Structure 1
Amino acid sequence: VFNSSLKYVSVFDLWQILKANFFATTIFVLFVVFLHGIIGFPRSIFILDWGICLGLTGGVRLVARVFRERVGFSKQKKTKRVLIIGAGEAGILVLRECRRNPHINLNIIGFIDDSPAKRNLRIHGVKVLGTRKDIPFIVEKYQVEEIIIAIPSAKGEVIRDIISCCQIPEVKIKIVPSLHKIISGELEIKLREVRPEDLLGRETVKIDEKEVSSYIKGKCVLITGAGGSIGSELTRQVASFLPSQLILLDYNENDVYFLSVELRQRYPQVSFKEIIGDVKDISLLKHIFSKFRPQIVFHSAAFKHVPLMETNPSSAVKNNIISTRNLIYASEHYGVESFVFISTDKAVNPTSIMGATKRIAEMLLQAKAKRSRTKFMAVRFGNVLGSKGSVVPLFKKQIEEGGPVTVTHPEAERYFMSVKEAVELVLQASAMGKGGEVFILDMGQPIKILDLAKDLITLSGLKPYTDIPIEFIGLRAGEKLSEELFLNIEKDKATRHNKIYIAQPDEFNPSLLRQKIKELERLSNLMAEDKIIEKIKEILPHYNNSFR
């Protein structure tokens, strides 16, 4: 009892005080009974003794805490008026943290909770003022300056709905960290702005770290496109599993340089080799494979911008198909154990050159896997939130410039996942792979691009349409309204990981495929764009380029 801090007295301390006083009163009773007997001794004295001792030991601590919280709070020159969304454990923890640390300068004026049972309840003296639909009215009535979302388990659609209810200029929105971080006591440090990935609301991915470590540790790993969004995160996560050597191949020297500096500081025990060059350079590939003998290859280098590839089909063929073919041949020739190709949902029933070239690259891997000791596999997923050149950085830039924010179509929707989650699942799928698989990552539900734009505007403290206009520019060449994860003729097969599936491949003639790819290579060297399109249609009868 006396070792507890007056500063942080809590219900637990009260329970300890109750037990200590009960024990002391029991000793007192026994002492009186055995020494003086109970006759002639007022029995009420025992109750009075227990009550007085409890009042003194517990009351002093309670007064000290109340004095500290109230006086400390009143000394603050200016506090922000804050509304907490979520009157559960996380919300209560935020309230307690604010009261224990007055220097945070947050004045909690109320809770928001959708549970009817909590309406008008008071939690530690703070009232539950209404539901999320009441937020605009409550913000105006109580002059709220900041909103804290304290629902760590909330799904993406709940977070997005809350954001849509908070479209109030000059009101900042923050969010508490995930539940495991709250439990570990990192709340004050990690309370932060709402990030785009919070809008996804996806559960934390759990991978078999032992299996992935066994797959990577002590091996030589080559990553192409190492400086890109996927490639750089792949490099970071692969490095964390301590390969013997990590080869970073990319043509962008600045990206590779800064990534290398970061990794060498974090993982001094790993040997890094930075190679600046083009993945299409056959002589460079031969040099890398003959000198370093990589055991695992992650091929993430690709041209990915749909509109640009529509006007540059020759470049798309060379970079996405021919370079992949050359890497496949080099990997087999030099005895690579595992080759992992990073694919895209745009390869499914493609309407774009970019998607078609990625699907043909998938087919190359599937054809080679049938007669090779190397485990060739592909991992297919949708958009990575916040990657270079993607919609989120574009929207943020447009918002910073005052708009307009440009959206292709009001009904356009895409699958999204964070780069960290995507790479974790890529590593898990790669470790499970036997060769020949096209793995599909569970992307959750697609999100409307328009909703994402409105949410990002709101998170910037502005109001959609009023402060920042939104313009519809129409679908660009090669773009779809919505993406798919499986071909019409493919069937999905579950794996032992609940977020990873396998697409059952369609049948095709491998030798005919190789022959047509040679013709594609010749046509791309001649820059014969119309004939390239015709040849792609021969390879992929389901390719629909009507949007070109």
Structure 2
Amino acid sequence: MNYSKRTGILVAIDLGMVWLSVYFAFYFSYKSSIPADQVQLWLLYGAISSIVSTAFMFLFKLYNRIWQYASVGELISMTKTVAVSSLVSYLATNAISAQPVSFTIALHTAETMLLLLGGSRFVWRVFCDKFGGKRQAHGADEPKKALIVGAGSCGTLFAKELKSNEAYDTMPFAFVDDDPYKQKLQVYGLPVLGGREQIPAIVEKHGIDEVIIAMPSVSKTQITDIINICKQTKARLKIIPHLQEIIAGKTTLNQVRDVQVEDLLGRDPIKTDLDGIANYVEDKIVLVTGAGGSIGSELCRQIAPFRPRKLLLLGHGENSIYTIEMEMRRLAPELELETVIADVQDRTRLEEMFSQHRPQVVFHAAAHKHVPLMERNPSEAVKNNVFGTKNVAECADQFQAERFVLISTDKAVNPTSVMGTTKRIAEMFIQSLDKQSQTKFVAVRFGNVLGSRGSVIPRFKEQIQRGGPVTVTHPEMVRYFMTIPEAVQLVIQAGAFAKGGEVFILDMGAPVKIYDLAADLIRLSGFEPNVDINIEFTGMREGEKLYEELLTNEEGITSTMHDRIFIGKPMNINRTELEFEIRKLERVLGKGQQEIREVLKHLVPTYSNVS
């Protein structure tokens, strides 16, 4: 129904209610039929009340409101309209008529008008809530039961949305809330059955299908605590986005999503020193190598808001570079971008690029990182991770870049893999180069990042989608985890602290057992581990170890101004000796794997996987 037709019908109904209100006021005032000498006054008062009330209904925009969603605000507006229009009608009638309307009749008219006009609208709202929204189907189409965690404003708004929106196949059943004053009461017609500790019992007793966490403003630590309680149930977990995402416009209140592994880390948002970052990035030419990879592409996204003069996206794979270029042109159309297809092993190409663009800040993220693959192809790990880093670092020194930040890994500490050993050599090389260069060379070391290409999470998700089994190498294997945006934000922040030669270590929180991670992912997907989907152990792969470390024995640790970033004491590395050993490494590249491993062992004595 269009606006004009809807308004016409409402005006006609309201006019009828106004006339009834005036009639009842006269009728009950005289306790019988209206006396003949009062009929003319009744008709005059009714006509004036109709005109004045309709005018004020339009003036207060009551015909512009959707009464299906009426609340206290609409009730107040209706009360104002009735009060003002009744007073004006009473005064106008008495000014025109020789026979005045009694104040009692005017008061009864106002009371009845408020009852009929306001009451009819709220009856309509109750009807819509009860019958006009989503109808509960039966049998196979019966909606899922949802338990909402949090009976605050967000939870109640979401419950209302679930009730009224037919797009959802879920109906709210009850709330849980830790506030003792809300427990055993009802909110929006739904009972508050207890606090978070009662969630498993409530789910079991009432056959809850989904648990929806509607607490977007609480800390991630509290969210993780609630998720850990919910994991004890078979209900599917969902969460309303964080309040910051809603305020920033990245998502809306109604875009409920499945709980993800990232929510289990329980770390509050990172606090960034924006001024410190802006000082070394703003209006600078910034180069990101490996810009098409997981870390490199996120670096590009997070660097863009700091307004670099130009952002250079360097990568070997044309498709991945094209993808991040298109994304950056959409996200930051005003930013000057330059895409560079180049291999970091090609020194001539790198010198050409550095000479042309003169980058002032370099983030070196290009690397081979897959541990078992590099075990089987050690020469490629050496070429990319050692000589590729050497080429980029020496070009940064030659063309006087201000800062060089190497993305390293916890696998470089007491390495048991070729990949970790090559990253350790890369760290050692930039530390030795820093001593004689005007460029500030630093490395940033962190553990696994959730969701990066080739990491365990996407593989687990793929296995779950196929119905299992989910494969874990060893029941006791643990790893440090961090989200990609978290890691990159800290990498950029660490660059602001660079004085030269440091290895920055990121606080990764508590290590996570891989078996627990697999089990959590299965539960978050709505299945029971080892019941619906099995977890199988395949044995440790070549180059892997049960746990990772963030510091070598020689490195002490000191704090920085950031509570999540620490500094490993710079190593005393002889540049000449290191260069000699690296040349030996270059000579054995064309030979067998054993020769390469022996030279790696000589370069990094803590490398312990020599076969």
TM above 0.5, yes or no, is yes
Q: Distance in 1 between matches of 2:109 and 2:447?
A: 70
Q: For residue 374 of structure 1, report the CA deviation from its aligned partner.
A: 0.7
Match of 1:164 among 231, 234, 252: 231
- Measure the CA separation in 1 of the matches of 2:467 and 2:165: 37
Distance 1:150 1:413, change over 3 A: farther
Assess if the C-alpha contact under 8 Å between 1:163 and 1:455 holds in 2.
no
* In structure 1, distance between residues paired with 2:77 and 2:482: 47
5+ unaligned residues in a row in structure 2: which ranges? Answer: 1-56, 88-104
The 10-residue stretch of structure 1 (508-517 or 87-96) with the greater mean CA deviation from structure 2 = 87-96
Match of 1:71 among 127, 131, 139: 131
**1:532-543 maps to which residues of 2 (within 5 A)?**
532-543=596-607
Relative contact order (C-alpha < 8 Å, sep 6+): which is higher? 1
User: Structure 2 residue aligned with 1:315, among 357, 380, 400?
Assistant: 380
Match of 1:444 in 2: 509
The 8 Å contact of residues 555 and 568 in structure 2, kept in 1 or not, is answered as yes
Which residue of the partner structure matches residue 425 of structure 1?
490
Say which of 246, 254, 262 aligns to 2:311. 246
Task: Find the residue that maps to 2:231 and give its secondary structure.
Answer: helix
Name the residue aligned to 1:353.
418
CA separation of 1:386/1:137 partners in 2, compared to 1, >3 Å: closer, same or farther?
same
Matched, 1:204 2:269: yes
Q: Does the 8 Å CA contact 1:97/1:188 hold for their aligned counterparts?
A: no
Measured in 2, the distance between the counterparts of 1:182 and 1:405 equals 34
What TM-score do you get using the length of structure 2 for normalisation?
A: 0.77
The 5 A counterparts of 1:386-465 are 386-465=451-530
Query: 2:192: which partner in 1?
Result: 128
Q: Deviation at 1:57?
A: 8.8
The alpha carbon displacement at 1:451 in A equals: 1.4
- Please give the alpha-carbon distance, in whole angstroms, between the structure 2 residues aligned to 1:380 and 1:126: 50
- In the alignment, which residue of structure 1 is the partner of 2:43? none
Residues in 1 aligned to 2:543 and 2:399: alpha-carbon distance in whole angstroms: 37
2:553 counterpart of 1:493: no
Q: Structure 1: which 5+ runs fail to align?
A: 28-44
Q: In the alignment, residue 315 of structure 2 is paired with which amino acid? A: D
Asked if 1:344 corresponds to 2:404, the answer is: no
C-alpha displacement of 1:311: 2.5
1:76/1:103 contact within 8 Å kept:
no
Matches within 5 A, 1:214-293: 214-293=279-358
Cα deviations by residue, 1:13-47 (Å, 9 ceiling, x for unpaired): 778999x79x99xx9xxxxxxxxxxxxxxxxx9x9
Of stretches 424-433 and 282-291 in structure 1, the one that deviates more from structure 2 is 424-433
Give the letter aligned to residue 544 of structure 1: S
* Alpha-carbon spacing, 1:105–1:511, altered in 2? closer, same or farther (3 Å): same
Q: Contact between 2:481 and 2:508, CA under 8 Å: does it hold in 1?
A: yes
For 1:54 and 1:487, how far apart are their aligned partners in 2?
Answer: 79
TM value normalised by structure 1: 0.85
Judge which range, 453-462 or 85-94, deviates more. Answer: 85-94
Residue aligning to 1:39: none
Q: Is the 8 A contact 1:339 1:376 kept in 2?
A: yes
CA distance in 1, matches of 2:121, 2:533: 53
CA distance in 1, matches of 2:550, 2:78: 60
- 1:227 match: secondary structure: coil
8 Å contact kept, 2:68–2:129? no
Aligned equivalents of 1:66, 1:205: Cα separation in 2: 45
Deviates more, 1:527-536 or 1:385-394: 527-536
Structure 2 residue matching 1:444: 3-state secondary structure? coil
- Shifted more, 195-204 versus 50-59: the winner is 50-59
Q: Does 1:142 align with 2:202?
A: no
Question: How far is the alpha carbon of 1:240 from its aligned partner?
Answer: 3.6
**d(CA) in 2 for partners of 1:243, 1:509:** 35
Residue 36 (structure 1) aligns with: none
Residue 57 to residue 431, structure 1, CA distance change in 2 (3 Å): farther
How much does 1:226 deviate?
A: 1.2
Is the counterpart of residue 302 in structure 1 residue 367 in structure 2? Answer: yes
Could you tell me which of 572, 575, 600 is aligned with 1:507? Answer: 572
- Whichever residue aligns with residue 385 of structure 1, its letter is L
- Provide the secondary structure at the position in 1 that maps to 2:133: helix
Paired amino acid for 2:413: V
Secondary structure in 1 matching 2:148: strand
- Between the aligned partners of 2:108 and 2:571, the Cα distance in structure 1 is 85
Give the structure 2 partner of residue 81 of structure 1: 145
Aligned to 2:240: 176
User: 1:435–1:53: structure 2 CA closer, same or farther, 3 Å change rule?
Assistant: farther
Could you give the per-residue CA deviations for residues 250-304 of structure 1, whole angstroms, max 9, x where no partner exists? 2212111222222233333333332323211111111111122211211101111
Aligned length: 529
Checking the alignment, whether the CA contact within 8 Å between 1:346 and 1:355 is kept in structure 2 is: yes
Query: In the TM superposition, what are the counterparts of 1:88-107 in structure 2 within 5 Å?
Result: 88-99=152-163, 101=165, 104=168, 106-107=170-171
Residue in 2 that maps onto 1:31: none
Give the secondary-structure state (helix, strand or coil) at the position aligned to 1:129: coil
In structure 2, distance between residues paired with 1:87 and 1:424: 34
Superposition deviation, residue 247 in structure 1: 2.2
Identity of aligned residues (%): 49
Q: Secondary structure at the match of 1:307?
A: helix
Q: 1: CA distance between counterparts of 2:304 and 2:513? A: 35
Query: Given the superposition, is the C-alpha separation of residues 17 and 497 from structure 1 closer, same or farther in structure 2, using an over 3 Å criterion?
Result: farther
- The letter for the 2-side match of 1:278 is D
- 1:152-195 deviations in whole A, cap 9, x for unaligned? 43427425514522335xxx432110023456785444212223
Determine which structure has more spread, i.e. the larger CA radius of gyration. Answer: 2
Is 308-317 or 396-405 further displaced after alignment?
Answer: 308-317
CA contact (8 A) 1:383 1:416 kept: yes
SS at match of 2:366: coil
SS of 1:340's partner is strand
2-side partners of 1:239 and 1:184: how far apart?
Answer: 17
Say yes or no: does 1:326 pair with 2:391.
yes
Separation of aligned partners in 1, 2:76 and 2:475: 58
Asked if the contact 1:163–1:459 (Cα under 8 Å) also holds between the matched residues in 2, the reply is: no
Deviation for aligned residue 1:492: 2.3
Q: Given the superposition, is the C-alpha separation of residues 430 and 57 from structure 1 closer, same or farther in structure 2, using an over 3 Å criterion?
A: farther
User: What is the CA distance between 1:470 and its match in structure 2?
Assistant: 0.6
What is the RMSD of the two structures over their aligned residues, measured on CA atoms?
3.5
Aligned in 2, Cα 1:127/1:206: closer, same or farther, shift over 3 Å?
A: same
Shift in Å, 1:3: 5.8
* Larger CA deviation: 374-383 vs 310-319: 310-319
Distance of 2:308 and 2:232 partners within structure 1? 47
